[in-house]
Amino acid sequence: QVQLVESGGGLVQAGGSLRLSCAVSGRTFSRYAMGWFRQPPGKEREFVAAISWSGGSTSTADSVKGRFTISRDSAKNTVYLQMNSLKPEDTAVYYCVADARSVATLARSPNYWGQGTQVTVSS
């Protein structure tokens, strides 16, 4: 079992930045692909970004490419999402996710989900 706990959400003005963190406990962190999904108000959950277990491969949704960066720190069992140039349409609950298989499968249907953290971007 893997436990994921997100932090770092909040209210920010358009154009601002936030960094989300996800602390991972349970199984061996280094063997899991990690990532982020989000759910905007009234919409379905959508893929945001993913990083391979080695950190050597990343994938980012077109809607956030060039603005969001995913990274991981194996020593701290933590994955991060740096969000820059935030827009009101980035407002959503952001979920940390993990998958033991691959970045590709994580982007479609992750094994594990955190509880989520709210990000609100005001115009």
What pLDDT, on the 0 to 100 scale, is given for residue 31?
Answer: 85
CA 55 to CA 30: how far, in whole Å? 9
Which token pair is 53? 């277990």
Residue segments in the chain with a per-residue pLDDT below the cut of 70: 27
Tens-place pLDDT, residues 42-74: 999 999 999 998 888 999 999 999 999 999 998
Closest CA to 48 of 99, 112, 115, 93: 93
Regarding beta strands 10-13 and 33-39, do their DSSP bridges make them parallel or antiparallel, or are they unpaired?
unpaired
Residue 29: predicted pLDDT:
73
List C-alpha distances in Å: 32 to 24, 29, 43, 45, 58. Answer: 10, 6, 27, 21, 13
pLDDT at 28: 74
Name residues whose C-beta falls within 8 Å of residue 65's C-beta, 6 or more positions apart in sequence. none
